[in-house]
Amino acid sequence: MNPASPRITVLGSINMDLVIRCANLPAPGQTILADSAAEICGGKGANQAVAAAKVGGNVTMVGRVGDDAFAERLVDNLRQHDIACKHVHATSQSPSGVAIVAVEDSGQNSIMVVPGANGRLTTEDVEAARATIESSDILLVQLEVPVGTVLAAIKIAVAAGVRVVLDPAPAPVEFPAAILQVDLICPNESEAAAIVGHDMETIEQIDSAARELHRRGAKNVAITLGERGTLLFDGEDITLVESHKIDAVDTTAAGDAFAGALAVSWSQGNSLLDAVRFANAAGAVSASRAGAQPSMASREEIATLQNQSN
């Protein structure tokens, strides 16, 4: 590990988010007038890469963009955050990934994702990035790219003794058992519920889900619960890490901020519990601001929020 600037490889999606802000999300069949629209660089993979870079990670992105007008903007944006893009490939005859994000005044959101070039990230792309993955402190993955591609990256990392952090979003209908063989899985409560197949209303049910995810292969489990904080299970102890009180503006990228910040903090030699505390603050800062990547917190902002909460 490199405590000063840990090497984080992020394999995942790169999208252009078309963000619509409105007073309330529309009901099925309802047409509403919205307040504003904006194009913001996003994608769970790219979001987490930016989150990790902003708190001191030495980040490399593995992903694909299309051959459309968005592609150059998406790659330039990553480079502006000092993210290495040698494994970000242009994809002929394919649009870049696009997400339609509706955000209501409460901060809650509804998202539709068109994968585009993200769906064409291959195991060959992973193999081309093998040396980068093997030399990383952490491999950070999500599920907006093909599951088989994610599994190939996990296999390389595990064989090289590289920690793997999985954000299982969006949770697939069929969840392959092999993808849970990771050092940490960090779902939100709805994703955890989809994987284990039961409700997540009470802390007892969330506790049960964490233990089930561990039983299925994840060495550590951190289930993010929004205002209720994060439930961490390290294979022995359950800890409920409190959230930070903030005025929610846009929760779209809070989970991505959490995952990116956690990967860096854990790689710097901090305990997993301390890394979760750091990541909780990063997620809170993100939720208090609009947009995905523009909302990501710096290390100084995270420290300020932690000090205010103590």
pLDDT digits (tens, 9 = 90+) for 247-303: 777 777 899 999 999 999 999 999 999 999 999 999 988 888 877 788 898 998 898
Q: How much is the average pLDDT of 169-188?
A: 90
Q: How much is the average pLDDT of 137-164?
A: 97
The closest alpha carbon to 129, from 164, 95, 166, 157, belongs to 157
- Whether the Cβ atoms of residue 259 and residue 139 lie closer than 8 Å to each other: no
Q: Residue 43 carries which side chain, given as an amino acid letter?
A: G
Q: How far does Cα 43 stand from its chain's mean position?
A: 9
- Whether the Cβ atoms of residue 157 and residue 131 lie closer than 8 Å to each other: no
- Whether the Cβ atoms of residue 79 and residue 52 lie closer than 8 Å to each other: no
Q: Residue 80 carries which side chain, given as an amino acid letter?
A: Q
Q: Specify which residues 90 forms β-bridges with.
A: 65
Convert the pLDDT of each residue in 58-78 to its tens digit: 999 999 999 999 999 999 999
- pLDDT of 1 reads 46
Least confidently predicted of 138-152, 192-206, 296-310:
296-310
pTM above 0.85, yes or no: yes
Convert the pLDDT of each residue in 92-137 to its tens digit: 999 999 989 898 988 788 888 899 999 999 999 999 999 999 999 9
Q: What residues act catalytically?
A: 256
Two tokens at 126? 């992973």
Counting residues of the chain whose pLDDT is more than 90, the rounded percentage is 75
Q: How much is the average pLDDT of 25-46?
A: 94
CATH superfamily of 7-14+44-94+118-309: Ribokinase (3.40.1190.20)
d(CA 305, CA 89): 37
The pairing of beta strand 238-241 with beta strand 230-233: antiparallel
- pLDDT of 3 reads 59
SS3 letters across 85-105? EEEEEECCCCCCEEEEEEEEC
d(CA 184, CA 232): 10
Q: How much is the average pLDDT of 189-194?
A: 92
pLDDT greater than 60 at residue 172: yes
d(CA 14, CA 87): 12
Domain boundaries, the chain: 7-14+44-94+118-309
Convert the pLDDT of each residue in 230-242 to its tens digit: 999 999 999 999 8
